[in-house]
Amino acid sequence: LLGPDAPVVIEKYVAPYLQRRYIAGAHFGAEIRSMYFYTQPEQRRAVLTAPAIALCEERLTETAQVLPLMEAAINVGAKGLVIVAQDVSGAALGLLVSNQQAPAEKKKLSLLAVKIKPVGDELRWAFTDLALLTGATILGPNHMRKGATALPQDVGRTQRVEFATKGVVVVAHDSKRADIREEIARLRQLLIDTPLDDEDRPKYARRLGTLTGGVGELKIGAHAKEDRAIREAQAERAFKVLSAAQRGGVVPGGGAALYHCVPDLLAAADAERDDNVAAGMRVLATAISAPLEQILINAGVTAPKVEMQYIRDGGPTTTYDVFSGKVADAATCGVLDVTDVVSQMLSIAASGAMMALSTDAIVYHRKPKQSLQPD
- Look at strands 138-139 and 52-60 and give their pairing: parallel
Band the pLDDT of 345: cuts 50, 70, 90.
confident
Q: CA–CA separation, 345 vs 337, rounded Å?
A: 11
Per-residue pLDDT, 375: 55
Which positions ≥6 away from 245 have C-beta within 8 Å?
Answer: 336, 338, 339
pLDDT higher than threshold 80 for residue 373: no
Instruction: Please tell me the number of Cα atoms within 13 Å of 184 on its side-chain side.
Output: 17
Q: CA–CA separation, 361 vs 354, rounded Å?
A: 13
pLDDT higher than threshold 90 for residue 207: no
pLDDT higher than threshold 70 for residue 137: yes
Beta partners for residue 60, in sequence order: 88
Q: Is 158 exposed, middle or buried (CB count within 10 Å of its CB: 0-12, 13-18, 19+)? A: buried
Q: CA–CA separation, 319 vs 327, rounded Å?
A: 6
pLDDT higher than threshold 60 for residue 1: no
Measure the CA angle with vertex 218, ends 161 and 119; round to 5°: 55
Average pLDDT over the chain, rounded to an integer: 87
Per-residue pLDDT, 51: 96
> Could you read off the pLDDT of 71-126 as tens digits, one per residue?
999 999 999 999 999 999 999 999 999 999 999 888 889 999 999 998 888 899 99
> Could you read off the pLDDT of 254-279 as tens digits, one per residue?
899 999 999 999 999 999 999 989 99
> Quick check: pTM over 0.85?
no
Q: Is the separation of the CB atoms in 59 and 86 below 8 Å?
A: yes
Q: CA–CA separation, 345 vs 347, rounded Å?
A: 5
Q: Is the separation of the CB atoms in 252 and 335 below 8 Å?
A: yes
Domains of the chain, earliest start first: 25-213 (3.50.7.10), 256-358 (1.10.560.10)
Per-residue pLDDT, 197: 72
Band the pLDDT of 203: cuts 50, 70, 90.
confident
Q: CA–CA separation, 264 vs 286, rounded Å?
A: 13
Q: Pick from 184, 178, 134: which is nearest to 159 by CA? A: 134
- The CA distances from residue 28 to 117, 184, 267, in Å, are 8, 16, 52
Per-residue pLDDT, 150: 96
Q: Pick from 51, 30, 195: which is nearest to 119 by CA? A: 30
Q: CA–CA separation, 363 vs 53, rounded Å?
A: 63
> Could you read off the pLDDT of 138-174 as tens digits, one per residue?
999 999 999 999 999 999 999 999 998 678 989 887 7
Band the pLDDT of 2: cuts 50, 70, 90.
low
